[in-house]
Structure 1
């Protein structure tokens, strides 16, 4: 693998590893800071979040060990982060790293919103939030295009 391609893969690997570690640390901080009642449902969702953040770390490690396979896994990982939404009782927002996103809040009127977040996770299932929101993570979208370009360069 050429030197420039290796540097780009290393940067992507470090981004994913740091994003995953930060996500796990933030999840633990939210769980144990004393403001959240630890129910079985909270623990299940926290384990689900931890699994996604571990997947981020795995993708980063795989980029060091087997770059072609790591790029495919990283592509899948970024696809999970592109769209985030909340509609009534159901919602999903996952970021391992950075989210710079925009979307529309559809409660009342269509309001354009701009959101920035570090590694975070929100999963609503059966909780009436009263929100209707859909957004796109521009960082994940950029990374998808970048990873596809790296995959093409690796085939040459």
Structure 2
């Protein structure tokens, strides 16, 4: 793996690692500031920490230049690409910065723009009247970046295999 690829993997790795740590810290802060816990709340906090932990895991894979790093990073960014709320079910996850373009269809069609850092929203049977969809532009940019980097790594492997035939 050449230095350019390592450098680009490092950028992806640090972004995911820092975003995951920031998200996990927000979850832990929230956990310690709630006066009453229930089993369901503990389960939800565990799920949140798992998502942010996966981002940390992906970042570490990239920083170590592991073979499966980009595959996991691609999946992690796909999970962050879309947020929604439909018929009382809502999901939105971001580990790192987000810049979302949204469409709110609740009462009328409204366009929304949001920016922020690490978040996790999940609900069932809440705000059933709320209907929206968000598209995370930063996650899309990382997906594109990861795809191009993956293609570059495959081309490098093919060139190395061709070069080894002649020796």
TM-score normalised over the length of structure 2 = 0.87
**Structure 1 residue 148 corresponds to structure 2 residue 110:** no
Cα distance, 1:108 vs. partner?
1.0
Indicate conservation of the 8 Å contact 2:6/2:65, yes or no: no
Q: 1:70: which partner in 2?
A: 69
**Structure 2 residue matching 1:7: 3-state secondary structure:** helix
1:118 match: 117
Aligned to 1:23: 23
Helix, strand or coil: the match of 1:95? strand
Given the two structures, how large is their TM-score scaled by the length of structure 1?
0.93
Q: What CA distance in whole angstroms lies between the structure 1 residues aligned with 2:105 and 2:153?
A: 42
Q: Post-superposition shift, 1:84?
A: 0.2
Give 5+ residue unaligned stretches, structure 2: 156-167
> Contact 1:96 / 1:119 at 8 angstroms: preserved in 2?
yes
Equivalent residue runs for 1:103-142 within 5 Å: 103-142=102-141
Worse-matched range after superposition: 141-150 or 36-45 = 36-45
Question: Segments of 4+ in structure 1 off by > 3 A?
Answer: none
Secondary structure of 2:67's partner?
Answer: helix
Q: Matched residue of 1:67: which SS?
A: coil
SS across alignment from 2:123: strand
What's the RMSD between the two structures over aligned residues? Answer: 1.4
Alpha-carbon distance, 1:39 to partner: 2.1
Greater Rg over alpha carbons, structure: 2
Q: How many residues align?
A: 155
